[in-house]
Amino acid sequence: MSSTSGAAGLAALSICETRLLALTDRGRLPGHEAAGVLRDAAAPHETTQGAGPEAGMHRAAAALFNTIFAAESSLRRPSP
């Protein structure tokens, strides 16, 4: 992956994470639904078969989603 596409992916992930946090903070999306979004996003990447670079990228994406999920779960404030 080039540094440009890596930066684009990181920026996109940051935007999505920020939007989920904003939606939950404002009471527009319950915390359990935001968690569901992260789990749903990780699921297809976790089941990727193979050993090539593309499969590794999918597994890395799943790991990122799961890391975000774990971090947000430990910091999540109760929904109003």
Domain boundaries, the chain: 3-75
- Higher-scoring residue by pLDDT: 48, 25: 25
CA-closest candidate to residue 18, choices 70, 68, 80: 68
Give yes or no for residue 3 having a pLDDT over 70. no
CA-closest candidate to residue 57, choices 66, 46, 73, 71: 46
Confidence of residue 35 (pLDDT cuts 50, 70, 90): confident
- Higher-scoring residue by pLDDT: 74, 27: 27
pTM of the model: 0.67
